[in-house]
Amino acid sequence: MLRQLRVALRTGIVTEPAPRDSNVERVGARLADEIRRRFRRSLAIREVDAGSCNGCELEIAGLTGPHYDLERFGLSFVASPRHADCLLVTGPVTRNM
């Protein structure tokens, strides 16, 4: 056990930062500029699940995580419709909704 601890402390951190794709950064910067031009601030989105299989909801929740981090481009998901600029509905939508 002590040997493993010594090896771990001697080795140090061996992970590398994730490589940044310049194409994604360029598209993200263009998206952020377009959002600021049209809305004069960031875009707040309210997501409503209308009976989907939760696959869409999981993907949307993943967009706010550290891998995609849409908030750096000016997109944020809000909990209240009062604070939202647009509504994103997932699942089957009918005329009676």
Q: What is the pTM of this model?
A: 0.67
25-83: pLDDT as tens digits: 898 889 889 988 888 888 999 999 888 888 888 999 898 888 888 888 888 999 999 99
Tokens of 86: 């647009």
Query: Within 13 A of 62's CA, how many CA atoms are on the CB side?
Result: 7
10-41: pLDDT as tens digits: 887 777 777 777 888 898 889 889 988 888 88
Read off the pLDDT band of 97 (50, 70, 90): low
